[in-house]
Chain A
Amino acid sequence: MADKIFRVNMSDLSTSIEDVPQAWAGLGGRGLTSTIVAAEVPPTCHPLGPNNKLVLAPGLLSGTTAANSGRLSAGAKSPLTGTIKESNAGGSSAQLLARAGCKALIIEGQPKEDKWYSIALTPDSITVSEETALVGKGNYEVAKTLSGKLGGKQGVITIGPAGEMKMASANLSVMDPDGNLRSNGRGGLGAVMGSKKVKYITIDPKDRKVEVADPEAFKTANRAFGKALVDNQVSQTLKTYGTNALVNVINEAGALPTRNFTSGQFDGHDKISGETMYDIIQERGGKPSHNCHAGCVIQCSQVYNDKNKQYKTAGFEYESIWAMGADCCVDDLDDIAEADWLMDDIGIDTIETSVAFGVAMEAGVLQFGDGKTMCQMIKDDIGKGTPLGRILGNGAGSVGRSFGVTRVPVVKNQAIPAYDPRTVKGMAITYATTPMGADHTTGYAVATNILGVGGSLDPLSKDGQVELSRNLQIATAAIDSTGMCLFIAFAALDDPNCLPALIDLINARYGLSLTGDDVTALGKTILKTERAFNQAAGFNNADDRLPEFFYNEPLPPHNLVVDFTGEEIDSFWNF
């Protein structure tokens, strides 16, 4: 049976299972969510109104045995940025959706009554039911209750209190194979789901499996692909130290945004580093390596236990640790782990929220370094929706506007992540130009600027950075369509066997004969589709700029500013 589009209209609670239109057949992941949003969502609609749509799509290779292919794309018009948004997460749902034959799930409309609902998807049905018991509950309780009720084999996508309250930083939480949570963190898509009054979605593929057109060729390609990933040295350090190995590297390079982006180095860096985290995990009987979905061979995730050797949090990532740590000057990993757990439970983006706290600290709402008060405010203000909690929960831009702070690190109102654009100049271009608002994953110039992956380019000079960011953003848009975790890129950039094996996998799955050029063309089309949506929503090149302070406040220790002209930034789009 061919894959289908599953659709739910929350205005009248009707559902349908539709054939996939020809134009969408070759698409998956971000390519598909962005194409559907561009085709069906009026760009000027209110993101929390009935005309926005939430689109969930597994990648082209999700549900197969291909290594690292279980990433889920979620798309909509973002309530945080007002732009088109694709947000990506691990967990089991992408694989289960693909196995259920769901090419994309589209949730549209809006109920008039003040009632909450859940959606259940199987290969031949999609149903909406009223939900009362889990409304108002945190994500961990929702995941636990549902995995008990459903036998643990099903997929769950849920929103926490932040999504129910339609906060602009609310995320979608996706259950992983251990019943823990991964998030489609960025851009407030949890608020979009909340605006449709959907508390959670369950996915049960029954016995259905993904069909592979040429199983032999698929096996061969998967072996080559898996080998390229496992052999790669970056994969190996990711497995031991997680992404948090970066704290010390980025700090040493002088690019670790500290104290609300006023320094590039943090005194407490070693205390929150991947090295220290590894020691603590070992000492407390946690797991340094763990995968966010079955089939990942890199295993950058981990399980972090508290002082009593009990589970505290999983998927404890560099971005979150940097944001709560260096940016807010908190140098205690246990405080950071507590804040991470609370944010996952409430269902709010760790990057956006922690950067918002950095701005709040600058405003004097709380002190820099005060991790305990931060945790308390996450729980009692954001979690309960007090007026202050809503200001914080609407992101860094919201805090800046509310308290009159001018140093607000956002692009298109989305918080800038863990690499200062004054010292990693390739990232200045990525943050400014990506249609997503400041997002590091869309064009990870850090690889070439700092890590020496895919060649090397001086991070402190603007030479070659526009071209680098362009090439990376095109390639990333294509990879985000395959369902592959982006960390395959470290192997893809340096191992000549990696990308051809990935293309062979797609060809074997669908019986196609795509080439590298087709993949590049796909990446370009996706970026142009996304940009056209933003332009129709009212964005222009003046929005492709960094906040003013990056141009006139030199960042220690290198004491540089962002020095790209507007024309240089705009030349990104010459393709």
Chain B
Amino acid sequence: MKLTIKLFAYFRDNRFVSEVREFPDTTTVGAIIDQLGIDREAVGITMINSRHCKVGTVPVDGDVVAIFPMVGGG
């Protein structure tokens, strides 16, 4: 499946801002995070198509997956 992966804050360092990549059909969000060399412990928020999702969720072809570290503000 083809997914758009978006990274934020320091996850972008030495990686990318947004890229379309090919993944095997059963890949979970967690496996994508691992593949990118991001420490799962550092991940604060994950979304698929602007809705929050769990790391165990399997996206489908065409989805947009967004990965953020722990962030705050207000």
Contact = CB atoms under 8 A, between A and B. Distances in A.
Nearest to A460: B51
A440 interface: yes
Contacts of B68: 248-249, 252
B9 A451 contact: no
A300 B74 CA distance: 10
Contacts of A452: 44-45, 52, 70
Interface stretch (A79-87, A359-367, A442-450): A442-450
Contacts of A76: none
Interface residues of B, number: 21
A451 B71 CA distance: 7
Interface in B46-73: 47, 50-52, 66, 68-73
A453 B47 contact: no
Contacts of A487: 72-74
A344 to B, nearest CB: 19
B63 to A, nearest CB: 13
Contact of A244 (B12, B47, B66, B73): B73
Interface string A75-118: 00000000000000000000000000000000000000000000
Contacts of B44: 233-234, 451-452
A238 interface: yes
Query: How many A residues touch the partner, as a band?
Result: 35 or more
Interface in A239-272: 240-246, 248-249, 252-254, 265, 270
A275 interface: yes
Nearest to A444: B74
A243 B69 contact: no
B74 A245 contact: no
B58 to A, nearest CB: 19
Contact of B8 (A275, A319, A486): A275
B52 A447 contact: no
A249 B45 contact: yes
B9 A237 contact: yes
A491 to B, nearest CB: 10
Interface of B: 6, 8-10, 12, 17, 42, 44-45, 47, 50-52, 66, 68-74
Given A237-B10, A486-B74, 17 more contacts: A234-B44, A237-B70, A238-B71, A248-B8, A252-B6, A252-B47, A270-B17, A274-B9, A317-B73, A318-B74, A319-B74, A450-B45, A450-B52, A451-B72, A453-B70, A453-B72, A487-B73
